[in-house]
Amino acid sequence: MIDPRLAGRTVLVTGGSGNVGAAIARAFAAQGARVAIHYLAQDPSSPAGIEWAHVTPAEGEAARLAEELGNGSFAVSADLSEPEGPVRLLREVVERSGAINVLVNNAAHCELPDDIDTLTHASLERHYQVNAIAPAVLTAEAVRLRRGDALLCVVNITTDAARAFPGQTGYGTSKGALEALTRSTALDLAARGVRVNAVAPGPVQTGWMDDDLLARVEEIVPMGRAGDPEDIADAVVYLASHQARWVTGQVLQVAGGHAL
């Protein structure tokens, strides 16, 4: 029988209160883990004309999810776009739970428009702060707060289009940076027994695809369907499990054959 050995572990899922993040939180809780569900308490101030897509549900929804999960799970707020946000988040989680064993860097920033014609220094900074810099700082702080040789692994959520994402310059390149971070930190931390991997989802239906777009996605995905949040969650749990104990530095594409 497969035993991922996650019962009693503490898992931090950033952007964990909705959509894929909530599915990841539920998947870990089903294995007996305590889940710290990160959320963004308030919408950031939005420049005119920009559509924000990284805002997770507010405190009430995160708290309800934590109660649903049980196992001592709890909700925790932090703004990862702030320079000190990631460090404060990690320290609060460790203070409340005593340790952190699995870090899932799922929170992401995406704003539209994001093509080369609309690119600005400020938009790139916003994308990179949440999608690349915050995961790097969270990983470093998790290593600093690790006690002895306690279990610690990191799973980053990228995108299967990180190699080339036309029309989403800031988002795509920041996710490409996150994949590079996955490989570099995996090599830096391997000798300490810390594993770092990534999951690269294809198009996942979380309500953003209408019927026409969903039909087009089903045509271009070799396995004939869009992904479900649970498809991504199960892959994340695998990479955090005992069964993946000799797997590090990998970007696991979970996309039904899309973008190969």
Domain residue ranges in the chain: 10-254
**How many Cβ atoms sit within 10 Å of the Cβ of residue 92?**
17
**How many Cβ atoms sit within 10 Å of the Cβ of residue 22?**
26
DSSP line for 66-81:
HHHH-TT-EEEE--TT
The most distant pair of C-alpha atoms in the chain lies apart, rounded to whole Å, by 54
CA distance 91 to 106: 18
CA distance 189 to 186: 5
The pLDDT value given to residue 207: 87
**How many Cβ atoms sit within 10 Å of the Cβ of residue 151?**
19
The pLDDT value given to residue 53: 44
Tokens of 98: 């005593």
The pLDDT value given to residue 48: 39
Pick the CATH number of 10-254 from 3.40.630.40, 3.40.50.300, 3.40.50.720, 1.10.3430.10: 3.40.50.720
Helices (H), the chain: 19-30, 59-69, 85-97, 121-128, 134-144, 169-189, 211-220, 229-240
The pLDDT value given to residue 164: 80
The pLDDT value given to residue 47: 47
The SS3 call for residue 114 is strand
Residue 32 contacts by C-beta under 8 Å, 6 or more apart in sequence?
Answer: 6, 7, 8, 71
The pLDDT value given to residue 43: 55
Q: Which of 39, 128, 171, 238 is catalytic?
A: 171
Average confidence (pLDDT) per 10 residues, the chain, 260 residues:
91 94 97 96 51 50 93 96 96 96 96 93 96 98 96 96 87 96 98 98 91 94 96 98 97 94
The pLDDT value given to residue 165: 82
**Of 138, 127, 126, the residue nearest 87 (C-alpha):** 138
The pLDDT value given to residue 57: 47
Residue 157's identity, in one-letter code, is: I
CA distance 94 to 219: 45
HSE-up of 233 (CA within 13 Å, CB side)?
Answer: 20
The pLDDT value given to residue 96: 97
What residue has token string 């988040």?
Answer: 89
The pLDDT value given to residue 1: 60
The pLDDT value given to residue 59: 66
The pLDDT value given to residue 42: 63
Residue 75 contacts by C-beta under 8 Å, 6 or more apart in sequence?
Answer: 17, 36, 37, 38, 39, 59, 62, 63, 65, 66
Is residue 171 annotated as a catalytic residue, yes or no? yes
What burial class does residue 205 get, using C-beta atoms within 10 Å of its C-beta: 0-12 exposed, 13-18 middle, 19+ buried? middle
CA distance 117 to 178: 24
Q: How far is CA 246 from CA 8, 186, 196, 234, 243, in A?
A: 21, 12, 11, 18, 8
